[in-house]
Structure formats: C-alpha cells, structure tokens
A and B are shown apart, each in its own frame.
Chain A
Amino acid sequence: MACIAVGDTIPDCTLSYADEADQILNVSVHSLAAGKQVILYGVPGAFTSTCSLKQVPGFIEKEEELKSKGISEIFLISVNDLYVMKAWAKSYPENKHVKFFSDSSATYIKTIGLELDVSDRFALLIDDLEVKVAKVESGGQFKVSSAEDMLKAL
C-alpha cells in the first residue's frame, strides 16, 4: 500500500469512539476535516510506553498553542477497540481537545498506508483534506512526530 504523502487527499473512512454513556459513535474523517486544518496522529497502541508517556501528553500540552495557530481538530488514532480508547482518553483528565478514535481493524491506517509496527508512529497536518505535512517514524523513534515538530511546521 502506497504511503500517504504531502499533496495527497486523505481518504474518507469511518472511525468510532465511545461517549460518556458508552454509546458508540461513528464519524467520517471527511466530515470532521473538510474545510479545516487538522492534525491526525497515529500511535501503535493505547497505553504503550512512549505513546502514553511522551507523545500524547505532548499533544495535550500543546493543544491550545496548536489551536491558536489555526488547528481546528487534533485526532489520535490507534488500533484498539473503542472501549480501550475511551479508557485511555480518560487517563488524561487535562485533555480538552484531542479526540481519541478507534481504528480497531486498522482499516484507516491501512488505507493511508501507514500500518504501524509496535514501534512506529506518524503525525499528519491536513488542510481541507489535503496532506500538508507528513511525519512518519519507525524503529521506536520519537524525533519528528511530536507536537513541537508540528508547531514548527505551521
């Protein structure tokens, strides 16, 4: 599967999440991202060490700054079921804007060609459905896909 690249339009897909009442909600990526600047980042797994301890807190910490620079939405996807994603989201009580979505069968991740090994991650800056910045890391690195890197790119 060709990896998504700068200039590509992101494909549409349905992602899901569980709300406070454990209702399953499905959203289409295009409906969330059309006409806006959004960041989509993908991590190998909920509660895994680097994701949980560094990458996610980084995006939460910078969420206001990212929003002030015109980012409307910040989405996090991972190949976990939506109950796990909900529990993971709850473990960050300070989070206000980052939306945790479940891509449990890795459908969307495969569609954008970014299947993740346990040590991969990515961050995409998307403007009106077009990829403007794509940072993909593998081999356990966490060098170019942090919130600071996305801020610099704006």
Chain B
Amino acid sequence: MAASLTISRFLLPAALSFPTTTIKLSPKSLSSRLSISPLSLNLHRRPSKPISFSTKTTQISATISVGYKLPDATLSFFDSDGELQTTTISSLTAGKKAILFAVPGAFTPTCSQKHLPGFVEKSAELKAKGVDIIACVSVNDAFVMRAWKENLGINDEVLLLSDGNGEFTKKIGCELDLSDKPVGLGVRSRRYALLAENGVVKVLNLEEGGAFTFSGAEDILKVL
C-alpha cells in the first residue's frame, strides 16, 4: 500500500485516478495508460518498486515500452532432432532485427490459432524487409510448444519458445493473471508483438490481456 500512496503523489491525477484496493489485474481494467506509471517513477528518480493493484498479491513490474532494452532471459525449445535446447533473449536479439510476439497459451482457441499462423504466413515478407528472427513466446512448457508447432505444421518460419516459468514475461511486466478464470491457465503472458533492433524495442503493440486487435503480423509489416 505504501508504494501506491507514493505513486499517487507523483502521478498526474488525470492519467491515473483509481482506488488502489479495488483494481483487479484483469484484461479489461488494465489500461495501456498504466504503462506510463513506471516511466513517471523513473523521471522522479523513485526506485521502480512493484506496484500492487489487486486484492490478490499480483504485482506489476515495469512494463516494457519503446526504447526499452529487453532484459535477458532463458527460453527453451525442442530442436529438429528432438533435443531440448535453450536460448537467451540476448542471443536471439543481439545485432539483429527480431520480432517477438506472445500468446496467452498454446492451443487456446480462436486468437492463438490465428495469431501464430498469421506470423507464419507473413514470415517471408517480414524477412524480406530485414527481419532476422521471428519468435513466438508463451508460458507453456517446451513439450507443449513443440506439439503446437507440429499441430500447425510450422517448420522454421517462426521459433516457438517456451517461457515455462514465466521468467521473461515477468521481467518485461507482461503477466496476465487468469487464475480466477475456470479455464486453468494461471498466470500467462499478455498478447503482444514487438520489433527489437539489437535488443532495443522499436515497435511495441501490447494488447490488454489476451485481446487480438493490433498485435498481428500485418500490424508489424505496416511499420517496417
């Protein structure tokens, strides 16, 4: 609570005025304007403490934004020989133009069955415009990511990476807490698509929760 009281003194009241005890971390209430708050904290040289909004103990760390250097994290995947491999955000993005997009869950209906195939379909076009890597990140284990990749007949157009413990997702402040839903998804990632050059975010299309409105392949293509 102390952290939220501190924030209310420094944030522009018009931008963020809400009763802190009643805000729940649900997709609909998490406005994109909330991403302003950590920057405000930085401008006032406050330490970027996690802010507690929800009556559950969900916390938000600073959310990524344009200009942000992606934090390093380890992600895993099965290679074509069926061997479990790991890679890091830094090795994926250093010196490259990389697209990272995230879905709330492998095999989840409609949105995820469109979001990933959309990037697969546009992968050649994206790569022709200078993109070196296209990777899909989800808070699922590597077995499930592999099965999903096979289910959709994907080869190497898009890398399917497991952020199994949500490490990367937490570091960039993009957690989506679906624990109160009966579907059993727990804490996953918000949907997003970003373009990073040498690890620095140049384009960020971060959805509220799992909505699918502007984080598709076409949306990234338009800005390349």
- A31 adjacent to chain B (CB < 8 Å): no
Contact A22 to B109, CB < 8 A, known contacts A46-B143, A91-B147: yes
Q: Which residues of A contact B184 (CB under 8 A)?
A: 16, 81-82, 102, 104-105
Partner of B186, one of A84, A86, A104: A104
Q: Is there an interface contact between A46 and B144, defined as CB atoms closer than 8 Å?
A: yes
Given A16-B184, A104-B185, the answer on whether A45 and B143 have CB atoms closer than 8 Å is: yes
Say whether A151 faces chain B, with CB atoms less than 8 Å apart. no
- Check A81/B105 contact, CB under 8 A, given A102-B184, A104-B184, A104-B185: yes
Contact A87 B148 (CB under 8 A): yes
Assess whether B151 is in contact with A87, with CB atoms less than 8 Å apart: yes
Count of chain A residues with a beta carbon within 8 Å of a chain B beta carbon: 21
Does A48 sit within 8 A of B, measured CB to CB? Answer: yes
Q: Given known contacts A104-B185, A105-B186, is B143 in contact with A83 (CB within 8 Å)? A: no
With a CB–CB cut-off of 8 A, which chain A residues contact B107? 83-84, 86-87
Q: Quick check: is A138 within 8 A (CB to CB) of the other chain?
A: no
B140 proximity list for chain A (CB < 8 A): 84
Question: Nearest Cβ in chain B — how far from A27, in angstroms?
Answer: 12
Residues on A with C-beta less than 8 A from B182 are 16, 24, 26
Which A residues fall within an 8 A CB radius of B? 16, 22, 24, 26, 45-49, 80-84, 86-88, 91, 102, 104-105
Q: Can you list 11 contacts pairing A with B, beta carbon distance less than 8 Å?
A: A24-B183, A45-B143, A46-B144, A46-B147, A47-B146, A81-B183, A83-B106, A87-B147, A88-B147, A104-B184, A104-B185
